Structure 1
Amino acid sequence: MKNAFNAEGAPEPVGLYPHARKVGNLLFLSGVGPRKKGTKEIPGVELDEAGHIVSYDMEAQCRSVFNNVKLILEASGSKWENLVDVTVFLTNMKDDFAAYNRLYAEYFKDNQPCRTTVEVTALPTPIAIELKCVATIE
């Protein structure tokens, strides 16, 4: 696909879409979660036998999702500092926003893209956070 990118180290998409697509000097990332590549493992998540969330560690998920975004940016010819817009989907704003916001401030202290954070009922896999990002690309 023309101007589409898939990052070697990032988790596989859960549908028919690329990790990112370049349009002009912008890079649009598909939704990125905290899963590990090549497995169904989600850092900080404990599932029961039916695949339902028993417990999760929001900090571990945040760190993993930020790492996955970084991998995709770099594999696509961009970098963390080029992020200009981030949309964050949380499944539990009430309990998770403080931890997420603290870690976001840690990761984005030198680059402060525009940000929107919304609560959603569920995400396609048993995760608590997903990011949708736009970055510039040289």
Structure 2
Amino acid sequence: MSDAVHAGGAPKPVGHYPHARRVGDLLFLSGIGPREPATNAIPAGIEAQTHAVFANVRAVLDASDARWEDLADVTVYLTDMAGDFAGYNRVWAEYFPDAATAPCRTTLGITALPTPISIELKCIAHVPRERTP
């Protein structure tokens, strides 16, 4: 059995799908970009877009009763690997300063995303239904 999650604090999906789906103790987030939830505006520059996409991921995690620390695996899509990797990687290190506790990560260079954004994240989190205090 799986539960769909629709996060009011995240931008609306650009297609017909939920923000996330919980299956057992795993939470699968749909691709999330850096659009501003209220206006759909896209921040300028890879560092601003990376901060925005992390805020949107956090909004979906919050709506799913999950925590930032629950992230287990992140796939990152960049439309300009050569130009944007260093800036995105600097921001990543701000959010995950300890590589030993950071989620696994794969970064892929692609030619386009569905909207004119530079970065999109696909995340999997481990969220036990019963947490110990």
Structure 1 contact 73–80 (Cα < 8 Å) conserved? yes
RMSD across aligned positions (CA): 1.0
In the TM superposition, residue 42 of structure 1 has moved relative to its aligned partner by 0.7
* Stretches of structure 1 lacking an aligned partner (at least 5 in a row): 45-56
1:114 corresponding residue in structure 2: 104
1:6 corresponding residue in structure 2: 6
Q: What fraction of aligned residue pairs are identical, expressed as a percent?
A: 61
In the TM superposition, residue 39 of structure 1 has moved relative to its aligned partner by 2.6
- Cα deviations across residues 53-88 of structure 1 (Å, max 9, x unaligned)? xxxx11110000000001100111111100000000
In the TM superposition, residue 108 of structure 1 has moved relative to its aligned partner by 1.2
1:95 counterpart (60, 83, 89): 83
| 2:31 match: secondary structure | coil
Distance, in Å, in 2 between the alignment partners of 1:109 and 1:75 is 24
In the TM superposition, residue 6 of structure 1 has moved relative to its aligned partner by 0.9
Q: Which has the higher mean CA deviation after the structures are superposed, 90-99 or 109-118?
A: 109-118
Q: TM-score, normalised by structure 2?
A: 0.90
Distance, in Å, in 2 between the alignment partners of 1:70 and 1:38 is 16
Structure 1 contact 26–137 (Cα < 8 Å) conserved? yes
Distance, in Å, in 2 between the alignment partners of 1:74 and 1:133 is 14
| 2:28 match: secondary structure | strand
Say yes or no: does 1:129 pair with 2:119.
yes
Structure 1 contact 12–38 (Cα < 8 Å) conserved? no
Code of the aligned partner of 1:88: V
Say yes or no: does 1:68 pair with 2:56.
yes
Q: TM-score, normalised by structure 1?
A: 0.87
* Stretches of structure 2 lacking an aligned partner (at least 5 in a row): 129-133
